[in-house]
Amino acid sequence: MSRPEEDGAPAEHGRSADRLPHPLVRPAPARPTRRISPAELEGLRAGPEPPFLLDVRPAEQRVIGHLPGDRWIPLEELTGRMAEVPRRGPVVVYCHYGGTAHRAAELLQRAGRSEVTVLEGGLDEYARTIDPTIPRYRDPSGGSWVLQQFPNRGTGCLAYLLHDRAGDEAILIDPGLEVGPYLAALRDRRLRLRAIVETHTHADHLSGHAELHARTSAPIWVSHRSPARYPHRELTDGEAIPLGDDELLVGETPGHTRDHLSLRLDGAVFTGDTLLPGSCGRTDLGDGDPERLWESLTARLLTLPDETEVFPAHYGSLHGLPPPLRYSSTIGFERRTNEALLQPTREAFLRYMTEGWPPQPRDFGTIVRANLDR
Ligand SMILES: [Fe+2]
């Protein structure tokens, strides 16, 4: 996991900060990328200097719909096709929901394009608010379940509320310490919290599971490998938990921590800190192990279909900007663009995961102990 305060952490061991290999811990760019709303984009397009519109999504998303008059350069091809992007004038980059376009914007800025902005909310928000003729993306919660994502601006973490569309039961994944928003969502939707699930023992933030348990009596579910000292139910690999007409499938994905779980539901996977957009959770805090992480990624998560939507436990590389409306990626996009996954060999991956990280946060041991005790 990364922490917001680690973004831009000073270089260690004499390394130059810009040589830090991991996107999550690189220094913030001198000028953070600006976002523009769909309405602002409409104004620009009607003005005297329409922007160069750049779609950086993968092919499987491009076929659904796109903005008229744009240029399509998938992110993984951008470095080789940089000459197609004008050096002068405004460039608006867009993607799926507004998150991954930031990665393209940083590449463009490093290549000397100074007027780069990112379309806030991505094509989905544009279709929702400006042009209803553009098809919306398939919502993986369009089936029997509904998803709500809770970003925490203080910790950079993401929690998820899942519930059965037809019923009144909900499951909460990786709650943060401030439980008010979850309780309000449960109350507003008249839901009963069936379980609180931790994908792993967190070292970067205090969990809200104890408070939620006290307020709702919902049980806490964790991996059978967790050393948790509070009352909990143990989840094991391969377990299937019914949710509406679907099932939440439990898979062990150790590496970031020994007790890490990923949870699959229909066309989505909740990857915790095992797989993050653009990176992977570090393995040097607590009982992590880069060799196990390699196995979890290659033998488990990367065997999922490309179109599987990835919901991580963290958004860490937006340099202080709020997360987009929906922060997610896909297995296919990560397979082709994630720097950790693009390491050419297992040995290179192990080096990537073990060299160049900033020092361990001073308080991580205290946070882990607190999360295990209550
Ligand atoms: Fe973590």
Please, are residues 268 and 140 in contact by the beta-carbon 8 Å criterion?
A: yes
CATH number at residue 110: 3.40.250.10
The answer on 280 and 149 residing in a single domain is yes
The answer on 275 and 149 residing in a single domain is yes
Cβ count within 10 A of residue 67: 20
Nearest CA to 313 out of 227, 203, 189, 229 is that of 203
Q: Give 252-284 pLDDT, tens digit per residue.
A: 999 999 999 999 998 899 999 999 988 899 999
The answer on 224 and 345 residing in a single domain is yes
Q: Give 51-77 pLDDT, tens digit per residue.
A: 999 999 888 778 888 999 999 999 888
**Boundary of a domain, candidates 129, 152, 168:** 129
The answer on 309 and 166 residing in a single domain is yes
Cα(372) to ligand 1 centroid in Å equals 13
Residue by residue, what is the 3-state secondary structure of the chain? CCCHHHCCCCCCCCCCHHHCCCHHHCCCCCCCCEEECHHHHHHHHHCCCCCEEEECCCHHHHCCCCCCCCEECCHHHHCCCHHHCCCCCCEEEECCCCCCHHHHHHHHHHCCCCCEEEECCHHHHHHHHCCCCCCCCCCHHHCCEEEEEEEECCCCEEEEEEEECCCCEEEEECCECCCHHHHHHHHHCCCEEEEEECCCCCCCCCECHHHHHHHHCCCEEEECCCCCCCCCEEECCCCEEEECCEEEEEEECCCCCCCCEEEEECCEEEEECCCECCECCCCCCCCCCHHHHHHHHHHCHHHCCCCCEEEECECCCCCCCCCCCCCCEEHHHHHHHCCCCCCCCHHHHHHHHHCCCCCCCCCHHHHHHHHHHC
**Boundary of a domain, candidates 129, 162, 195:** 129
Q: Which two tokens stand for residue 233?
A: 């139910």
Cα(282) to ligand 1 centroid in Å equals 8
Within a domain: residue 10? Answer: no
Q: State the helix-helix crossing angle for 38-46 and 122-129, rounded to 10 degrees.
A: 80
Q: Give 66-116 pLDDT, tens digit per residue.
A: 999 999 999 888 888 999 999 999 999 999 888 778 888 988 988 899 899
The answer on 224 and 187 residing in a single domain is yes
Cα(200) to ligand 1 centroid in Å equals 7
- Give the burial string for 180-216 (b: 16+ CB within 10 Å, else e): ebbeebbeeeebebbbbbbbbbbbbbbbbbbbbbeeb
Q: Do you know the residue count of the chain?
A: 374
Cα(176) to ligand 1 centroid in Å equals 12
Nearest CA to 169 out of 190, 189, 194 is that of 194
Measured CA to CA in angstroms, residue 120 lies from 11, 138, 250 at distances of: 31, 19, 33
For residue 313, pLDDT over 50 is answered with: yes
Q: Give 46-58 pLDDT, tens digit per residue.
A: 999 999 999 998 8
Cα(243) to ligand 1 centroid in Å equals 25
Please, are residues 151 and 129 in contact by the beta-carbon 8 Å criterion?
A: no
* Whole-angstrom distance, CA of residue 61 vs CA of residue 313: 23
**Spatial CB neighbours of 164, under 8 Å, sequence gap ≥ 6:** 144, 145, 146, 170, 243, 244
The answer on 309 and 287 residing in a single domain is yes
- Quick one: pLDDT band at residue 30, thresholds 50, 70, 90? low
Task: Provide the pLDDT for residue 321.
Answer: 65
Nearest CA to 144 out of 239, 242, 61 is that of 242
Within a domain: residue 11? Answer: no
**Spatial CB neighbours of 211, under 8 Å, sequence gap ≥ 6:** 177, 179
The answer on 301 and 332 residing in a single domain is yes
Q: Which two tokens stand for residue 182?
A: 């979850």
* Whole-angstrom distance, CA of residue 8 vs CA of residue 28: 5
**Boundary of a domain, candidates 95, 129, 163:** 129
Q: Round the average pLDDT of the chain to a whole number and report it.
A: 87
Cα(216) to ligand 1 centroid in Å equals 25
Instruction: Please state, for a pLDDT cut of 90, what percent of the chain lies above it.
Output: 58
Domain ranges, residue 98 = 31-129
For residue 7, pLDDT over 50 is answered with: no
- Quick one: pLDDT band at residue 184, thresholds 50, 70, 90? very high
Whole-prediction pTM value? Answer: 0.80
Residue the block writes with tokens 């919306």: 136
Cα(244) to ligand 1 centroid in Å equals 28
Within a domain: residue 4? Answer: no
Cα(288) to ligand 1 centroid in Å equals 10
Residue with more model confidence, 314 or 315: 314
Cα(311) to ligand 1 centroid in Å equals 14
Cα(146) to ligand 1 centroid in Å equals 25
Within a domain: residue 17? Answer: no
Total domains in the chain come to 2
Within a domain: residue 20? Answer: no
